[in-house]
Amino acid sequence: MLYFQSIISLYSFDEYYFKKWPEQLYLLLVLFFCLFLSIRLYLKTKNHPVLVHWPIVGILPSLIQNAHRIYDWTVDISNTFGGTIAGRGPVFAGLDILHTCDPRNVKYILSTNSSNFPKGLGFKETFDIFGEGLFNSDSHFWLAQRRIARMTFNSKKVRNIITNMSQKVVQDALLPLLSHVAKQSSVVDLEDVLLRYTFDTSVNIIFGRNPNYLSTSFPWNKLANAIDEAMEAVFYRHIVPSSWWKFCRWFMIGSNERKLEKAWRTIDQHLTPYITATREDMATKGISTEESDLLQVYMGLKEGEKDELLLSKMSCDKFFRDTGFSFLMGARDTTASALVWFFWLLSKNPCVEAKILEELKLVFLKNTKGENCSSHLKTKRLPCTVFDADDQTGLVYLHAALCECLRLYPPAPLNRRNAVKDDVLPDGTVVKSGMLIIISSYAMGRMEWVWGKDCLEFKPERWMDEDGKLNHEAMSKLISFSQGPRICVGKDMGFVMMKAAASAMLFNFHVEVLEGQNIQPKPSITIGMKNGLMVRIKERELIL
């Protein structure tokens, strides 16, 4: 319409326009050129409507149009254009974008030449609610935090805290709640239950406090709700131009930034007392007392174990707030996301569920030394059976099934990086300095040329070798926890929490997914379910 209005005004019999004829002619040529360029670009991309490069606004209209199905859109892009494609963002954003799901490029970006592809300033601004924690840092400060985090998570002390607390929450809260639901024969949202499980477990592990969110009364929790609100707002920042949400943040206008600001205050109001209470506990009990949570381990680090860059930071409550929040977000939403998709996939593949049950039965019989416990289990359901850390080590098929779930539904489906210098990726794609790199692990898991013709099938066997052990070559393609120097330090913690819940739930209960549900990914930072997962819980009658 702008083009035609300009043309009409040009030919109006107004003396002003006759006097300005040279300027109007120049404007007319510019408008015709823009119109010609738009038509040319449209004709070039009309056969690929999944991604259209428009003048001025670039791929922004396509992004907004597909925001509700953002992950499947990356699959469409990859199937249409190949594993890697470059695009242009809006002119006013001054940003070139590169999307890839090619394993060769991913390994190069995240591992081989990771120093050229940091998260960047834009990432830190977008995820500003994480502060300066491990998740949000780069350069030397990230490296210093990384050293301490790896040392901490690899210690026997912390591994025991994680395994013991996961088993305790499963035994004392998760299984009793499911037993209650089963006796009531009621329908429950499994995603909500699992989010409550991971929330209670994570807060217990990190801060040594039990929120009791996983209760038969299904209580409302202000902190958990604030985290949900904050993550929705952060996801929205990825859809609109950064200049717009920064403008809204500066003037505190628009519901999204106001919602984030309110959620941020609520989160800090809850985490600050946790940190204060931990300091008081350590001061009362003494530094020699055995630490019972992750925050106490951090606060109790000796001077020789701290990095020089962190000496001043580690006496600051803000550092512990940022660190604790990063760990909480790394454990809560991601683990719950993986578990809910896992149980949905099992409902579609009963043969896989049967194999996992057989594996669990063998471990159970081994623990009971061949005693006949079948009748006991049928007559007395509580206390339910929980598998400990040693048991989980032998659950190879369960581990493979979880890996297969993470391949198809990675909790963090998109990973972003920024190119510092010009570079060339292994597939020959040229990367320009300042380019935004989007890695889609969700699309990678659905590429036939990566996984074969059965790429959309749920097959745990692809992660195992002929001897029934985990296939380390296949495991190298699992990027759900990232790769290279920034691989998730809480990877083992995630598997412990998943296995503790999955093994106990499967052995003691049958999860029946209600038919007729519209199951699709929720557009968010982590790939939850848009409408939840409604299920019925039934006590399982095991034949041993």
Q: Which residues are annotated as a binding site?
A: 488
Strand partners, 188: 535
Residue with tokens 């149980």, as numbered in its chain: 343
Structure tokens at 125: 């601004």
Parallel, antiparallel or unpaired: strands 436-440 and 96-100: parallel
With residue 47 as reference, give the H or E element that holds it. Answer: none
Residue with tokens 């977000």, as numbered in its chain: 329
What Å distances lie between residue 528 and 260, 314, 415, 517, CA to CA? 19, 34, 16, 15
Question: In angstroms, rounded to a whole number, what is the distance separating the alpha carbons of residues 173 and 199?
Answer: 12
Parallel, antiparallel or unpaired: strands 187-189 and 430-431: unpaired
Question: In angstroms, rounded to a whole number, what is the distance separating the alpha carbons of residues 133 and 137?
Answer: 6
Task: Specify binding-site residues for heme.
Answer: 488
With residue 418 as reference, give the H or E element that holds it. Answer: strand 414-418
Strands in 105-186 per DSSP E = none
Strands in 158-286 per DSSP E = 187-189
Task: Provide CB contacts within 8 A for 456, sequence distance 6+.
Answer: 408, 446
For residues 124 and 417, is the Cβ–Cβ distance under 8 A?
Answer: no
DSSP-derived 3-state class of residue 477? coil
Question: In angstroms, rounded to a whole number, what is the distance separating the alpha carbons of residues 117 and 384?
Answer: 48
Task: Provide CB contacts within 8 A for 67, sequence distance 6+.
Answer: 239, 523
What Å distances lie between residue 21 and 7, 81, 138, CA to CA? 12, 45, 55
Give which of 203, 432, 243 is closest to 335, Cα–Cα. 203
Q: What share of the chain is helix, strand, coil (3-state, %, to 5)?
A: 60, 10, 30
What DSSP state is assigned to residue 488?
Answer: -
Residue with tokens 């210098």, as numbered in its chain: 421
Question: In angstroms, rounded to a whole number, what is the distance separating the alpha carbons of residues 207 and 278?
Answer: 7
Question: In angstroms, rounded to a whole number, what is the distance separating the alpha carbons of residues 156 and 159?
Answer: 5
